[in-house]
Structure 1
Amino acid sequence: MSSTPAGAIRTASQLAAFEGEHNQELLARYNRSLMGVFGTPQRVLVRGTGCTVWDADGKEYLDLLGGIAVNALGHADPFLTSIVSSQLATLGHVSNFFTSPTQIALAEKLLDLARAPEGSKVFFANSGTEANEAAFKLARRNAGTPEQPRTRIIALEGAFHGRTMGALALTAKKAYREPFEPMPGGVEHIPFGDVDALRAAVDRTVSAVVLEPIQGEVGVRPLPAGYLRAAREITREAGALLILDEVQSGVGRTGSWFAFQGEVAGGERILPDAMTLAMGLGSGFPIGALVTFGAEVSGLLTAGQHGTTFGGNPVATAAALATLHSLEARGLLQNASDVGAWLRGQLAATAGVVQVRGEGLLIGFDLAEDIAPGADQAALEAGFIINAPGPRTLRLAPPLILTRGQAGSFLEALPGILAAARQAAAAEQDAASNEKVTP
């Protein structure tokens, strides 16, 4: 048997990129070979460490988006890397005819962190949208009786639950849904945060109410105080399931293990019937989960009614266990709470910022002008990765290891970023005006 030649094994990034190629050349290759569902990416990122990443031109960025709340431990975390590498070298995939110690241990850990009652269960998927597909099926199984069927599912305006068909039906944005209609039926969207509207909508014909404790895609919008408590009471009285989508807000992002345990719950103990997780659970390794609370709800999905090929594989569950261990051992929930509170306070005192929302290190802030997309681009030029989910709104969801010093570097740069965005907007407006008056 021949041995591997020295130097033959290289990193995936080295294998993928041609030597000497930079952003422009690589993005041209991207546009020729990848489906354009995301448009053209802003940069080609080639490596990272902690909260810092570098692009193919060698430019450095402070990552304040974390892969959209995914990279909880930052980039290239040594412990996570060692655990994933060790597990992959031991056992990578076994199919759902078998299980593994890491799968069992992760399910037990999640139930423990959620303070789940006896009879609670976990189903592992590969992403947030897949977890929400499982939740959609769970809702369908709460079908009522032939005499009184439950055919309706309630979601909120502004909701984003994913892009596969069941999750897309729960998502509120018409532009996402309309190209693929007809959607799976029975989903209704009611006004965000309106308890009276929720009470009017939920009766014995409703199988489930699906909520994000903090809506992420519309610019980090927490449910009003008391809403989750009211939702729990209303759904329980009607026999409907309360399903919380914690894909973005869960796993320490808000300073609590799950947002329903924190301030958004009004400081009271709220236990849903189910929740979905993903994003930060594997700190970059793809994994999602549906957690059901109590034996009655957990028994709604039975053998053969749902499944997955890759979900809960040994490597993904090892990555999630390593993530949860690191979050605990390094006190990163407290860090998210402390740095997030300080950052929100500093943002609120920044000229041009009119509102700040969020919990922990899931933060949205509104600007006084419609310059958020320009600010997103100006931030990138200045070496910061952020996100503009709306014309006036910017979103931050950095790794939970973010330091106050790193956050402070962004705050120092923010006035210049906003000034550059205003200048770009004025130049664009002048160009448009000149175009109109040109014969």
Structure 2
Amino acid sequence: MSPHDSPNGEALARRFETALMPNYGVPPVALARGEGSRVWDADGRRYLDMIGGIAVSSLGHGHPALVGAVSRQVATLAHTSNLFLHEPEVLLAERLLGLLRAPAKVLFTNSGTEANEAALKLAIKYGKERGRTYFVAAENSFHGRTLGALALTGKRSIRDPFGPFPVDVRFVPYGDADALKNAVTEECAAVFLEPTQGEAGVVPPPDGYFTAAREICDAAGALLVADEIQSAIGRTGHWFAHQYEGVVPDVLTLAKGLGGGLPIGACIGFGAAATVFAKGDHGSTFGGNPVSAAAALAVLDTIDGDGLLEHVRTVGAELAAGITAIDHPLLAGVRGRGLWLALVLTAERAAQVQAAAQRAGFLVNALQPDAVRLAPPLVITSSEIASFVAALPAILDEAADVR
């Protein structure tokens, strides 16, 4: 093979299996390039990307605003470490605070799990200063796979093999305000919640749940930490999902869609939580580096300038309505908001739906045995949405018949 030849998908999969640890298995598709909401695999097959790199590729693939911002920045200054400041990180922090419209301060990280690690360390320090000894999180929650974030994750299948954990976390049913109230006492340091549970199957809480969580934390003096790793930056048609109820958390964590494909996360503290960390309490060599910060600024500017929040609400409603109109024995319905939805199935056939969709030219994600995640780029068009809805009955037919 010459240096200019690209391997086909099968050859690349064999090399992947040989060279990489087996924690991902071997992914079913080897992607080679993308444009807009479309991607092509190593064998030249085209797909409509309905998963967006797990809600990451906010502007799709190859967006000129993102390409330009990253290219200019990497040619100017790619890295500084945290020993020096640079303008892109300051601009990005200021921009985020403007969108949040509340007094706060930002700590940049590289990923979502690192943002939640930072939030946990902040909450630990807050608790120690006040004699608070435990944390509360939700059953079936997902906050990351590093040990601190995993300690907060209520999904036992991935949590239990790596315990015991160094912090006391008590889990309550998601959406049950009474259970939350009973669990949060004056000994609780913080409550960690997702505005909608992502990895559990895009499961929204009952109306008013986050308002109740805010009141419960206020009454007990505990911090309310909103994990918006997956739900923020326009994904639901709002900048942040917690804004649906007008609730301001004490700590907010971001990642995924913020960088549009480049690694960046953020831990944002509001009010008193903004100054819990002192110099040296936490840090990151790469967090908020100039290139990722420039990418995030391009994402925010494009969402704002191109009216993508309204676009997400419009095409998200079209997608949900189109799915709802399908009468199929395998389809129970759809849940979620904006362009963050789950196909809910009547049987545990999500893996078969994912495979059938791939064969039909659509990339989706079997999130739970009976739930399929849809989180396409925010720039996806109405016609692309319509093409997926039109193909879905046949995809469900194939998934239902596969043995």
- The bucket for the TM-score relative to the shorter chain is over 0.9
Distance 1:18 1:186, change over 3 A: farther
Deviation at 1:138, TM superposition (A): 1.0
- Partners in 2 of 1:185 and 1:282 — Cα distance? 30
| 1:285 maps to amino acid | L
| 1:143 maps to amino acid | G
1:159 and 1:172 in contact (8 A); partners too: yes
1:142 and 1:240 in contact (8 A); partners too: no
| 2:41 maps to amino acid | D
Deviation at 1:365, TM superposition (A): 2.0
Distance 1:256 1:20, change over 3 A: closer
Name the counterpart of 2:94: 108
From the CA coordinates, give the structure whose radius of gyration is larger.
1
Name the counterpart of 2:117: 133
Name the counterpart of 2:39: 53
Name the counterpart of 1:195: 177
**1:40-439 to 2 correspondence within 5 Å?**
40-117=26-103, 120-143=104-127, 149-262=131-244, 265=245, 269-294=246-271, 296-352=272-328, 353-424=331-402, 428=403
* Partner SS for 2:310: helix
* Partner SS for 2:336: strand
Distance 1:240 1:168, change over 3 A: same
RMSD: 1.4
After the TM superposition, list the runs of 4 or more consecutive aligned residues in structure 1 that deviate by more than 6 angstroms: none
TM-score, length basis structure 1:
0.89
Distance 1:229 1:20, change over 3 A: closer
* Partner SS for 1:275: strand
* Partner SS for 2:122: helix
2:133 and 2:189 in contact (8 A); partners too: yes
- Partners in 1 of 2:131 and 2:344 — Cα distance? 43
Gaps of 5+ in 1: 1-13, 429-439
2:231 and 2:240 in contact (8 A); partners too: yes
Identity %: 50
TM-score, length basis structure 2:
0.97
Write out per-residue CA displacement over residues 353-393 of structure 1, whole angstroms, 9 at most, x where no aligned residue. 21211111000121222221101000001000001111221
2:318 and 2:385 in contact (8 A); partners too: no
| 1:156 maps to amino acid | A
